[in-house]
Structure 1
């Protein structure tokens, strides 16, 4: 594999690729409008994964950079999977200087529990204390 480069430089992000993946190929954001993706990127710490200068992966973190972070929209394009890119991407997220010393770092996943468990993510210790407002079909309207 050509050298993998991971960057938080938003100027490098291939926003059309990110939108296309999330809106058409993800399991969690089908139909998400481009304007929503752009606003999410603008208000998050974003990580792009690049091979030979082409974006092949993405992750974003919503955080106050002090006590809390939420990892979202992690993906690697299908043709680049199985090469360790998702592991390198998550490792880069967790090593970022702005994300050290946080009290809580959360995420939601339906199929990548094993990946995140490698990095210390577990089911909530006290699930009875967590609540949410969840609108799974919000982008279908």
Structure 2
């Protein structure tokens, strides 16, 4: 029997050292990120933590104007907790949050297309319309 996942958007409950450790050491998209950058990202987004027995095991953040746009960032479940449905539960909570329910979402992924498609995400129509200015 798997332990239940408790999901919270309370910033003071986040285990920031664990989030930084995962992002800087294990993620493919933010390897080597500075702790200061993680703090800044958390401070400027709506963040969600997933907890099992009061230990944080999952994280996601939505960068949003709360009106019509949100960008899903830094979604992960610690490796030892993967395969239990926690990622799906976390995404359902983020996308179903009353503050974000009516916004359009974007994200980028290298390896979780099927997961996100199950929540209604699809490849961009007319990608030639979209432009990107990468960080320096």
TM normalised by structure 1 equals 0.93
Counterparts of 1:118-137 in structure 2, within 5 Å, are: 118-135=118-135
**Aligned equivalents of 1:90 and 1:106: distance in 2?**
13
Indicate the structure whose relative CO is greater, using CA pairs within 8 Å and at least 6 residues apart. 1
Instruction: Report deviation, 1:101.
Output: 1.7
Deviations 1:91-136 (A, max 9, x none): 001100111222x21000000000000000000112111111225x
Runs of 4+ in structure 1 deviating by more than 3 angstroms, as ranges, are none
Q: Give distance in 2, aligned partners of 1:3 and 1:100.
A: 24
Q: Which residue of 2 aligns with 1:37?
A: 38
Q: Gaps spanning 5+ residues in structure 1: where? A: none
| Alignment pair present for 1:17 and 2:23 | no
SS of residue paired to 1:89 = helix
Partner-residue secondary structure (3-state), 1:97? coil
- Residues 52-105 of structure 1 show CA distances to partners (whole Å, capped at 9, x for unaligned) of 000000000000000100000000000000000000000001100111222x21
**1:87 alignment partner in structure 2:** 88
Q: How many equivalent residue pairs?
A: 135
Unaligned runs of 5+ in 2: none
CA RMSD of aligned residues (A): 0.9
